[in-house]
Amino acid sequence: MRKITEIIVHCTATRERLDIGAAEIDRYHRQRGFDSIGYHYVVRLDGSIEKGRDESAVGAHCLSHNVCSIGVAYVGGLDADGKPKDTRTPAQKRSLSALLTELRRRYPGAKIHGHRDFAAKACPCFDATKEYVAL
């Protein structure tokens, strides 16, 4: 297994209530020229957690941070007009906390960040570093 020092949270930058999952994202990322879905996990609107890229494989989700990180995305992040918004459903919030807790347990010392900590983007449309500091 590669060394994991960061767990990076994303949104899929899709409009709220659009119910997609790992299969659709995989197709979209392949169209953009990636080998496969860039994230390692996807949290759907109903809170179900779908596997993306294998954890042992380097992801494609955060420039200059892929080698040492796990990428987790919740579906959503845009309002009906396409503007950045924290659209997480209560079920997504519960699943994200559970998944991030599990990843922190398996990768002790890895820090949880939002994509926006490393890029001039709104992603994941909330302050993940602050929200998950206690996990």
Which residues are catalytically annotated?
10, 39, 115, 121, 123
Residue in the structure block whose two tokens are 């309002």: 79
For residue 113, the SS3 value is strand
Q: Is 8 or 45 the residue whose CB approaches Zn ion more closely?
A: 8
Least distance to Zn ion from the beta carbon of 115, Å?
3
Is residue 116 involved in binding Zn ion (CB under 5 A)? no
Q: How far apart are CA 63 and CA 83, in angstroms?
A: 23
Binding mask 8-47 for Zn ion (x = CB under 5 A): --x-------------------------------------
Report the 10 Å Cβ neighbour count for 82. 10
Q: How far apart are CA 127 and CA 81, in angstroms?
A: 21
Q: Which residue stretch of 41-49, 82-90, 104-112, 119-127 sits at the interface with Zn ion (rule: CB under 5 A)? A: 119-127
Contacts of residue 33, defined as CB under 8 A and 6 or more positions apart, other chains included, come to none
Could you tell me the two tokens for 92?
């997504």
Among 52, 53, 115, 131, binds Zn ion (CB under 5 A): 115
Binding site for Zn ion (CB under 5 A): 10, 115, 123
